[in-house]
RNA sequence: AGGGGCGUCGCCAAGCGGUAAGGCACCGGAUUUUGAUUCCGGCAUUCCCAGGUUCGAUCCCUGGCGCCCCUGCCA
């Protein structure tokens, strides 16, 4: 697999790398994408993936895929597999460089003994509650643990027995001996190892002690000779510890650089919240098309290319940001406009009978699959007396600017004839419009416009009743009703879930050329939006289409959306 | 006086002492058998505020103000 070309806009991290290369500090660039396999990847991860792999590609270095698998109680093989699938789908290749922090458990343990031998770590018997007490607060210094002054010999003995499984879970920890009075809480003798009897997806029950993030991440970076270790802003306070450990251990010292994480309007991005949405059944799963997960977006019909473009456009910085969903949607439209074949589909069918078209007769029109790309070919569209158009394209009492059907109004059927609405049939009881009786102009087939005939402004899509394929269409909308739930102080994002985020249309009809469409295939339903065949629920006899994104709609905007 | 960050157009974001890139959004207009696409044009005399240094400051200094993160044996 070749790396996709990733355009990299200027950003402060590139500036740092340029300086490091110019000064000779580094000859090449090695980055890494370090997910914890405790959930599915989301678009925020895509930002990190594109950054890390993009930088590696740009500087002709390399990027490792490394699983930060140091907490077996939360991590699962299912997530490891899904993460690899998603990174590959996004278009990146880590080659031989797949690593796991668990690959380094033995080395990491050796580092722990080294720290003990240098008098820089000790085994502490404080309970979690006691430790919290001793830690102090943000404004008050902590106090030294009574176990802080154990001898090296005793610490080494205790550490070895911790590893050997002689102590109960949670009864002791290994701590770095730094400074209980530090203004940076992370430096108040942070825990390095805890006792935890859990089956690890890769190491099974080989270990009963596991290193903490702070004692695994930087060390793994060091082992892999990562030059620039990029992470999100919340780790800034950990950098002094990252640096302290590299110095104390006297090992290769990568540079940690932090950037701001991605937030998108109308959704949530943390794995914790996404897990909640899944567990509480607000969505159908991690790959629900409303989820900001990569698997959800893929199923929604967003392309890897669009997501890469998005990650390039939003840039990299250090200020808290919330990116407008429209940026992502624009990337999706930009990509799909070029690649998606056109087709016609009617979402909410309204019957149209052409009173002057012979019963039993039919004909075919040839339609281009793409208005600008002849190479995409054409398809045949059957036409007959009985048609369906979308209910949205008819108004009983339309304003003059409404260029569609209404009593006495003329409109062109896309690729077909101009028709005029002669009669509106309503249900006697409900008053609902149930049929339009129209007449067609035989001189106007396939877009023809006879001399002297005035052009009609409106063009609408349609399907032939006898030829159309009944399908299910799922319309998706924003997950939340508010743009930025974090701005709603003291309120839970679940209060803002959008009840209308999924609308299932079971009566939809599509043109017959779509029966062959494969799962995942994307189309533009003309005048409506981009749709793809659902990769999970679509069946040959009952196809399911997901709306990826609507087309821009200036009419909807005019009438006030 | 707890520590660490951030503050350039509605949302992102370049900019690194020489007189405010770009994208999205928004507003016009042209083309159009998708009210789509495409195409033209508009959109920060101003960079959180106040002082200072300088011939000149968004970029340097000082002092404010606002927002975010940190007290897991999570990552």
B13 closest protein residue (CA to C1'): A315
Residue A271 annotated among the catalytic residues of the structure: yes
pLDDT of residue A533: 98
Tokens encoding A352: 């149209």
Residue A489 annotated among the catalytic residues of the structure: no
Tell me the C-alpha to C-alpha distance, in Å, between residue A520 and each of A62, A300, A509, A536. Answer: 31, 9, 18, 9
Nucleotides on strand B lying under 7 Å from protein C-beta:
2-8, 10-16, 21-27, 33-38, 67-75
pLDDT of residue A452: 84
Query: Does residue A314 reach within 7 angstroms of strand B, measured from its CB?
Result: yes
B7 closest protein residue (CA to C1'): A319
Query: Does residue A443 reach within 7 angstroms of strand B, measured from its CB?
Result: no
B4 closest protein residue (CA to C1'): A237
Q: Are strands A459-460 and A410-413 parallel, antiparallel or unpaired?
A: parallel
The secondary structure of residue A87, as a DSSP letter, is H
Chain A residues 250-279, Cβ below 7 A from strand B: 260
Taking each continuous run of H as one helix and of E as one strand, the counts in chain A are 13, 25
Task: Please report, rounded to whole angstroms, the spatial distance between the CA atom of protein residue A316 and the C1' atom of nucleotide B45.
Answer: 29
pLDDT of residue A488: 86
Task: Please report, rounded to whole angstroms, the spatial distance between the CA atom of protein residue A320 and the C1' atom of nucleotide B20.
Answer: 22
Task: Please report, rounded to whole angstroms, the spatial distance between the CA atom of protein residue A333 and the C1' atom of nucleotide B12.
Answer: 19
ipTM of the shown complex: 0.97
Active-site annotation holder among A74, A84, A143, A261: A261
Provide the whole-model pTM: 0.96
Mean pLDDT per block of 10 residues along chain A (561 residues) reads 61 97 97 98 98 97 98 97 98 98 98 98 98 97 98 98 98 98 97 98 98 98 98 98 98 98 97 96 98 98 98 97 98 98 98 97 97 97 98 96 97 98 97 98 92 91 98 98 90 95 98 97 98 97 97 91 55
Query: Does residue A198 reach within 7 angstroms of strand B, measured from its CB?
Result: no
pLDDT of residue A2: 45
For the four alpha carbons of A123, A101, A258 and A251, in that order, the dihedral sign comes to positive
């Amino acid at each position: 697999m070749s790396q996709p070309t990733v355009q990299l806009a200027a950003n402060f991290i590139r500036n740092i790398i340029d300086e490091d290369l110019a000064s000779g500090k580094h000859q090449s660039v090695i980055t890494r994408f370090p997910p914890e396999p405790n959930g599915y990847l989301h678009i925020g991860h895509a930002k990190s993936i594109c950054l890390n792999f993009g930088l590696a590609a740009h500087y002709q270095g390399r990027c490792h895929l490394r699983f930060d698998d140091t907490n077996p109680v939360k991590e699962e093989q299912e997530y490891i597999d899904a993460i690899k699938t998603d990174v590959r789908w996004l278009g990146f290749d880590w080659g031989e460089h797949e690593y796991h922090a668990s690959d380094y458990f033995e080395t990491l343990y050796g580092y722990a003994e080294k720290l003990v031998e240098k008098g820089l770590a000790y085994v502490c018997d404080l309970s979690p509650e006691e430790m919290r007490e001793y830690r102090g607060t943000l404004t008050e210094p902590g106090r030294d643990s009574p176990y802080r002054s154990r001898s090296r010999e005793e610490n080494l003995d205790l550490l070895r027995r911790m590893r050997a499984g002689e102590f109960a879970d949670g009864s002791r920890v290994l701590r770095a001996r730094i400074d209980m009075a530090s203004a940076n809480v992370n430096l108040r003798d942070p825990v390095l190892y805890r006792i935890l009897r859990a089956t690890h997806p890769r190491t099974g029950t080989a270990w009963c002690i596991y290193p903490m993030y702070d004692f695994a991440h930087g060390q793994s970076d060091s082992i892999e000779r990562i030059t620039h270790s990029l992470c999100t802003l919340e780790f800034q306070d950990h950098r002094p510890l990252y640096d302290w450990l590299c110095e104390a251990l006297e090992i290769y010292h990568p540079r940690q650089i932090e950037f701001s994480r991605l937030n998108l309007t109308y959704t949530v991005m943390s794995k914790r919240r996404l897990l909640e949405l899944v567990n509480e059944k607000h969505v159908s799963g991690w790959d629900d098309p409303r989820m900001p997960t990569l698997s959800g977006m893929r199923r929604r019909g967003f392309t890897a290319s669009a997501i890469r473009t998005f990650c390039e456009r939003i840039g990299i910085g250090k200020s808290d940001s919330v990116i407008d969903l429209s940026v992502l949607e624009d990337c999706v439209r930009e990509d799909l406009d070029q690649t998606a074949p056109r087709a016609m589909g009617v979402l909410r069918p309204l019957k149209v009978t052409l009173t002057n078209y012979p019963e039993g007769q039919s004909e075919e029109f040839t339609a281009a699959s793409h208005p600008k790309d002849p190479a995409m070919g054409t398809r045949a569209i059957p036409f007959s007396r009985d048609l369906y158009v979308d209910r949205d394209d008819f108004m009983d009492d339309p304003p003059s600017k409404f260029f569609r059907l209404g009593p006495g109004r003329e409109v062109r059927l896309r690729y077909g004839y101009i028709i005029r609405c002669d009669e509106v049939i309503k249900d006697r009881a409900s008053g609902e419009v149930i049929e339009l009786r129209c007449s067609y102009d035989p001189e106007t087939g396939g877009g023809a416009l006879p001399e002297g005939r005035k052009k009609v402004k409106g063009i609408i899509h349609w399907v032939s009743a006898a030829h159309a394929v009944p399908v299910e269409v799922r319309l998706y909308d924003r997950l939340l009703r508010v743009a930025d739930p974090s701005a709603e102080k003291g309120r839970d994002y679940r209060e803002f879930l959008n009840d209308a985020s999924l609308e299932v249309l079971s009566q939809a009809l599509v043109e017959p050329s779509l029966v062959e469409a494969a799962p995942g295939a994307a189309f533009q339903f003309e005048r409506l939006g981009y749709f793809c065949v659902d990769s999970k629920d679509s069946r040959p006899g009952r196809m399911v289409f997901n709306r990826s994104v609507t087309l821009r709609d200036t009419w909807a905007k005019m009438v006030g959306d």
